[in-house]
Structure 1
């Protein structure tokens, strides 16, 4: 992914990363931040994502997540997220279920990094925009 200057519009559903420094927390956030949960302090994140050029397509994918899990307050199983990524994502990683593996802080740019590093483990972000298109992220892990 290249460098993003600023997040753009907001997607449907949970809050989108519409400003620099902001990020979508997705379902499963306890409302408490800080060093104890690793949000904002970890060095590496393991994540999957769905990338779509058009907002309508990412909203359709997010609706499937809402209908299947998020609407009930459940976490999306990684295998199910991977199926949706394979179906909807326009990123080459879509063929691998959207798996980006482990990546360090500073590798991804702008709003993507902000959302990836602020989404709790096991949680799914809301749809958000970067210069590459519209994304949804599933955070699978974090480490220092």
Structure 2
């Protein structure tokens, strides 16, 4: 339940003030006086992540549906151990044998959309499926550091 994005999506009909919700959104996306975004997205130097890579879109969608049915539809975070089980089952990347674990990697190591998604996914959150030059991916962000 600790995701910043989920409560905003499901809490739109709550009793809170509209202006307050808008400013929270801007605080998490915008930059503060220090030049760093409030949630650390886009400002870190390293990300620790797991991923699932599939050549075919249908296969990645099947894996994502399992994540949705198990956790995401309830607004829960996918436990790394459960993500690792799915990566072992579905991923066509050599990292799949290690539960999709990519370890820590610096900005600039991964290409194009993979890096963009990895560095913009909040810690503990799982990305939606996306396409890169290598195929279709789902990323679980496990940590950030400078």
Task: Identify the TM-score tier after normalising by the shorter chain.
Answer: 0.7 to 0.9
- TM-score normalised to structure 1 length: 0.79
* Gaps in structure 2 of 5+ consecutive residues: 6-24, 32-36
Contact 1:121 1:140 in 2 (8 A): yes
Larger radius of gyration: 2
Q: After the TM superposition, which residues 1-144 of structure 1 pair with which residues of structure 2 at under 5 Å, given as runs? A: 28-30=3-5, 31=25, 32-33=28-29, 34=31, 35-144=37-146
Paired positions, count: 118
More RCO (CA 8 Å, sep 6+) = 1
Which 4+ runs in 1 deviate beyond 6 A?
none
Q: Which moved more, 1:56-65 or 1:35-44?
A: 35-44
* Greater helix share, structure number: 2
* Gaps in structure 1 of 5+ consecutive residues: 1-26
